[in-house]
Amino acid sequence: MSHSGILLILSGSSGVGKSTLCKHIIASIPDVRLSVSYTTRPIRDGETHGVEYWFIDQEEFRRMIAQDAFLEWAEVYGNLYGTPRQELLTQIDKGIDVILDVDVQGARNVMKNMPDAVSVFLLPPSLEVLKARLETRGTDNAEVVEHRFQKAQAEIANYVEYDYTIQNGCLEQAIKEFESIIVAEHVRTKRLDRAWVLRHGLARQESNRVS
């Protein structure tokens, strides 16, 4: 009934499992895509340009900022990250649901610019489990891990700003809950295509006549 896609904002601290959750959702639901952000951080082993991120240098990133090419952008741990505006809006206009994996600061900016977006915060099972995940990823040294953990505790307090909260203790359950959110949002009355309702004779055409 709704012809436009939905922008799904997904936030959560490092190590909470956002990437894994997104991969399963995209594989299980047709017409759901992940927004690919631009970043200036170095590419890691196993990553592909244009898949996890678009990897560009600082000069190109600053040029895109000047061109207002980002829906939102931020500096995180000394690297720049940005959400491409036009690519995201084009997909939504085509009826594709887009998941935007972004931190709390970026989420606030997107919510301000796109009030119809649906926001989801992913929580860890516990702080102890989260710290263990950060330590076993093997991508950061002990100092960076501790910094990420401290930041995570501050970020978690912001879950109250989001429409939905999912605790990622069991991946299978988290997937089901995220899928349910997508299904429910597509049948919300505020997203109902009025032209579709009229075309199928499910409502009367409002009259502009003044009595």
* pLDDT tens figures, 179-201: 999 999 998 887 776 555 555 56
End-to-end CA distance of the chain: 33
**Which stretches does DSSP call E strand in the chain?**
7-11, 32-34, 38-39, 54-55, 70-76, 79-84, 97-101, 118-123, 164-167
| pLDDT tens, position by position, 35-51 | 999 999 999 888 999 98
| Mean pLDDT over the full length of the chain | 88
Residue 163 DSSP SS3: coil
| Of residues 66 and 204, more confidently modeled | 66
- Per DSSP bridges, beta strands 38-39 and 32-34 are unpaired
Positive/negative CA dihedral, 114, 48, 148, 65: negative
The number of angstroms, rounded, from the C-alpha of 143 to the middle of its chain's C-alpha atoms is: 27
pLDDT of 97 over the 90 cut: yes
pLDDT of 207 over the 90 cut: no
Q: Which tokens belong to 29?
A: 């639901």
H helices present in 47-193, as ranges: 58-66, 85-93, 104-113, 127-136, 142-156, 171-186
| Of residues 1 and 120, more confidently modeled | 120
Separation between Cα atoms, residue 102 and residue 191, nearest integer Å: 24
Classify burial at 151, counting beta carbons within 10 Å of its beta carbon; exposed 0-12, middle 13-18, buried 19 or more: middle
Q: How many residues does the chain have?
A: 211
| pLDDT tens, position by position, 127-146 | 888 888 888 776 677 888 88
Separation between Cα atoms, residue 44 and residue 211, nearest integer Å: 69
Separation between Cα atoms, residue 195 and residue 201, nearest integer Å: 10
Mean pLDDT, rounded, for 3-16: 90
The whole model's pTM is what? 0.82
Q: How many CB atoms lie within 10 A of CB 47?
A: 12
- Please tell me the predicted confidence (pLDDT) of residue 206: 56
* Residue 78 contacts residue 120 (beta carbons within 8 Å): no
% of the chain surpassing 90 pLDDT:
60
List of domains in the chain? 7-188 (3.40.50.300)
- Please tell me the predicted confidence (pLDDT) of residue 50: 92
pLDDT of 11 over the 80 cut: yes
- Please tell me the predicted confidence (pLDDT) of residue 1: 52
- Please tell me the predicted confidence (pLDDT) of residue 38: 96
- Please tell me the predicted confidence (pLDDT) of residue 166: 97
Mean pLDDT, rounded, for 150-174: 93
- Per DSSP bridges, beta strands 54-55 and 38-39 are parallel
pLDDT band at 211 (very low <50, low <70, confident <90, very high): very low
Mean pLDDT, rounded, for 51-61: 95
CA-based radius of gyration for the chain: 19
